[in-house]
Chain A
Amino acid sequence: MTTMKSSKRNALNVRAALIKSVLLMVLMCVTGLALAHGERNQEPFLRMKTLHWYDVKWSVENDATIQVNDVVEMTGKVHFFSRWPEVINKPSTIFLGNATPGPVFLRVETYLDGVPMIQSTGVELGHVYDFKVILKARIPGRHHVHPMINVESAGGLVGPGIWINVAGNADDFVYSITTRTGTEIENLGSYAVPNVVKWHAIWAIVGVLWLLWWFRRPLIIQRYLLVKQGSWSQLITNNDRKIAASLIVGIIVTLIYANNITKEKYPRTVPLQGSKAHVDTPVNKYAGMVTVKNLSAEYYLPGRTVTVKAEITNNTNSPIQVGEFTAANIRFVNHSVPAAMKGVDVGYPGELVANDSLKISDQTPIQPGETKILDIEATDVAWETERLSSLLNDPDSSYGALLFFYNAKGERIIEEIYGQIIPTFID
């Protein structure tokens, strides 16, 4: 009786252990959950303290339809945050490009502060650079198109994006260039491919014929036994040896001949160019104009509100107001400041502009020389949909943002704000 009970218990234990181990195996395979394509993929502290993209404009409207071969231009500014996270490499090696689903768009030209960006470059923290990315539509479909900067070891940091519908036929795509030696390349995507296929085919045929030379004979059992018997002359005949020697000569001669004709046809070649482009460090035109200090910052989860208590000193000679608070591509605009409202283009992606206004505890302008403490409240579901609420899962509970101030003349002054941010769960 006891034996039956204990054996039943054993069986249950075994079953429980089996289930646990299967689940554990599945779990081992699912590490790294909660990641995705695009900007939502990255941890909030990374997105808020690395790049801030603003004044981003596209040459077509959001959700516009264009044809294959049409050109799209993206311009704007990208600010490299001075409080760059310690855990990722500084942007001493970066590459300006586009976040599109692969080569659905061709990259025509890219510039950072007017410097061509075909190579990688390096930038300085705390500075803002003008970028320009020109793309050419290649594959039909509905594509999300953003500017992007890859930072060595951090990966791609993505700017705001719009939807672009590309209509037409992918076969109609054409991209022509002319080499320095005068060769006209009609279509870069198919250039010199027939030659590649030709040489692959030649060598493949030689290889196949050589294999068939052996496969036509009984292979496995017979040869195994002949090897055991030591009958090497039956296994590798004189004929085989003659053919092998001829093949060695033939292969070497073919290689020499192929290289000679190639040298004649392409006498002037250059190796892959691996240099780095250089961009001068831009002058920070806002330096010293406004001093901003984060006194405290809270993130209230249920209400999706970030509240920052900031001490702001106006060092200019014109009164200023807080016009915009932007973090990780989301824009919170103060509706009471007309100049700030003008800063939001009509076609700008709506999901990146908070519906609610930016709430400032004191809307009266900060006078020249005055220091004010303001509560800045930014509320929107965007904090959640853009997965910035997963601040809670970050090993670093801090934030970074840009504050846009507007003076009496409607001129804009931009300053960083950063600090620790505390989550609040209860009212």
Chain B
Amino acid sequence: MAVTHEEVRQAKAIAPFKFNLKPMIMGLIVLIMIFGGARWYQQWAAWDYGLDATDPMFDKYWMRVFWGEIIVEVTLFFSFVGYLWMTRDKHLNNLKPREELRRLMLWVSMLVVYAFAFYFAGSFYAEQDATWHQTVVRDTSFTPSHIFLFYMSMPVFIILGFSLFFYAITRLPFFARKISIGLVLVVCGPFMLLPTVGYNEWGHAFWLMEEYFTVPLHWGFVFFGWTIIALSGVLIQVMKYMVELLPKVINEKGELTS
């Protein structure tokens, strides 16, 4: 059968699907700069100015960093979450499937950035803390290690996690219709690590003078680390979303139809 002009015009109108990797790459680069920069800072400032918290130089080189972090992080948190809410899509019931697919893939790509941040908080800076405990006679709430672990790495992935959650509920119909418990656990569960820090420091100040890692006082962190298993639940939900969404934009042969 001859191809009509109509069909040709329609075929030309369907844009190929391209993954937008720029936000993800930018996010990864920014994180590498932040976390890499912090590690570089620790290499010299921890030794030169970070061994004695009663030293005025400690205040200059470390406590200022701490206060700076708190201010920046609180500001960014409310800015990101506020922006995502204020610019929410108010017509999710009318969202075009191609646009929905683009948003979903963007969101999934930003989950890579989130997971990357979680790596620095849960693995890199966390285990490094064990070594700094061995350098000072006694650890405190504010050390060159804690200042980048508790007060930078954890807030960073919390900011990213909440932003991703708010993106999902303001721009992706599947996650906006009903709140996914798995998603709440994955992005908000790790948030509970921060109050656990408070509990942990309280315990160290009043009971536990000896520094080893595998004590029940630390197990609050372990428990909330387990919430990442809920990520598999989120993955299943993304599957269900794909089953619902992809057939709207592709046909049986795998070709894009819109």
A residues at B contact (CB < 8 Å): 22, 25-26, 28-33, 35-42, 88, 99, 101-103, 141, 144, 148, 150, 152-156, 158, 220-221, 224-225, 387
Contact = CB atoms under 8 A, between A and B. Distances in A.
Nearest to A46: B209
A221 B242 contact: yes
Nearest to A224: B239
Chain B interface residue number, banded: 35 or more
Contact of A32 (B131, B202, B239): B202
B119 to A, nearest CB: 18
* A-B complex: 8 closest residue pairs judged by Cβ atoms: A32-B205, A28-B198, A155-B209, A36-B53, A35-B140, A37-B136, A102-B135, A32-B201
Interface in B206-225: 209-211
B137 A41 contact: yes
Specify which of A26, A101, A221 lies most central, judged by the most chain B CB atoms within 10 Å of its CB.
A101
B141 interface: yes
30 contacts: A25-B195, A29-B194, A29-B197, A29-B198, A29-B201, A30-B141, A31-B141, A31-B198, A31-B201, A35-B53, A35-B140, A36-B52, A36-B53, A36-B54, A39-B137, A40-B52, A40-B54, A41-B53, A88-B209, A101-B51, A101-B136, A103-B134, A152-B210, A154-B209, A155-B137, A155-B209, A221-B242, A221-B246, A224-B236, A225-B243
A25 B194 contact: yes
Contacts of A158: 137
Given A37-B51, A387-B54, A32 B137 contact: no
Interface of B: 47, 51-54, 70, 74, 131, 134-138, 140-142, 150-151, 194-195, 197-198, 201-202, 204-205, 209-211, 235-236, 239, 242-243, 246
A99 B47 contact: no
B202 A153 contact: no
A37 B202 contact: no
A26 B141 CA distance: 12
A29 B151 contact: yes
Nearest to B195: A28
B239 A41 contact: no
A272 to B, nearest CB: 16
A35 B141 CA distance: 8
Given A28-B198, A33-B140, 20 more contacts: A28-B195, A29-B150, A31-B141, A31-B201, A31-B205, A32-B202, A33-B141, A33-B142, A35-B53, A36-B53, A37-B53, A38-B136, A40-B52, A41-B137, A144-B51, A153-B210, A155-B138, A155-B211, A158-B137, A224-B236
Given A22-B74, A37-B52, A155 B201 contact: no
Contact of A36 (B134, B135, B140, B151): B140
B135 A220 contact: no
B189 to A, nearest CB: 17
A20 to B, nearest CB: 14
Given A29-B150, A153-B210, A220 B141 contact: no
Contacts of B70: 26
Contacts of A88: 209
Contacts of A154: 209
Nearest to B198: A28
B209 A37 contact: no
Nearest to B50: A37
Contacts of A41: 53, 137-138, 140
Contacts of A26: 70
Nearest to A104: B135
Contacts of B74: 22
Contacts of A22: 74
Contacts of A387: 54
A152 B211 CA distance: 11
Given A141-B47, A221-B242, A29 B138 contact: no
B61 to A, nearest CB: 14
A387 B150 CA distance: 27
B52 A32 contact: no
B138 A35 contact: yes
B25 to A, nearest CB: 21
B86 to A, nearest CB: 17
A101 B47 contact: yes
Contacts of B53: 35-37, 41
A196 B246 CA distance: 48
Contacts of A38: 51-52, 136-137
A156 B137 contact: yes
Nearest to B58: A36
Contacts of B235: 220
A35 B146 CA distance: 13
Nearest to B201: A32
Nearest to B140: A35
Contacts of A28: 195, 197-198
Given A29-B150, A36-B52, A37-B52, A155 B141 contact: no
A35 B205 contact: yes
A29 B137 contact: no
Nearest to B55: A36
A120 to B, nearest CB: 13
Nearest to B210: A155
A88 B209 CA distance: 10
A96 to B, nearest CB: 15
A153 B51 CA distance: 22
A152 B198 CA distance: 25
Contacts of A152: 210
A43 to B, nearest CB: 11
A150 B138 CA distance: 11
Specify which of A28, A30, A37, A141 lies most central, judged by the most chain B CB atoms within 10 Å of its CB.
A37
Contacts of A31: 141, 198, 201-202, 205
Contacts of B151: 29
B124 to A, nearest CB: 19
Contacts of B211: 155
A336 B37 CA distance: 57
Contacts of A102: 131, 134-135
A232 B230 CA distance: 25
B239 A221 contact: yes
